[in-house]
Amino acid sequence: MLMRHHAHRTSGLTLVEALVGTLLLLLALTAFAAVAAQSARVVATGQLANFAADALNGAAQAAQRGNTQYIQARTLTSDELRLLAQSAGRRNDLSAALTGDVVPQGGNPPRVRISIRGPGIAISEVVTVPGGTP
């Protein structure tokens, strides 16, 4: 008489199945984290661009009104950029990430280029300022 031995399988996961499941879970979590990080970068860049645009508009308006701080060559400080953006109603302060400058362009009437730069953004505007000869 021959005895046959049958493998007895219990319910549950094998070690290989558990490792494959863990690997798939880690891949899914990594993909989710990458998408979340990219989304956060896009949002942050958008907020920074809006902040810079508000600061640029504030500086352009000041230059058009004849404010001498914005019609002579100079570097704009982060404090100035913060105040300029706040004058447009911007509440969050992102000015530390930005730099700016004012560069006279000459002409009659005179013009200045106001530029603001930051990570992933660079905006500028040429503004006609009071002065010149008729």
| Predicted model pTM | 0.68
Distance CA 129, CA 70 (A): 9
Strand order from edge to edge, sheet including 111-118: 74-76, 99-106, 111-118, 121-128
Q: Where are the domains of the chain?
A: 17-128
Distance CA 22, CA 18 (A): 6
Can you read off the two tokens belonging to residue 29? 């979590």
Vertex 31, ends 17 and 27: CA angle to 5°?
15
Q: What is the pLDDT of residues 92-111, one digit of tens each?
A: 667 788 899 999 998 889 99
- Find out whether 112 and 63 touch, Cβ atoms under 8 Å: yes
Q: What is the pLDDT of residues 49-89, one digit of tens each?
A: 888 999 999 999 999 998 988 889 999 988 888 888 886 66
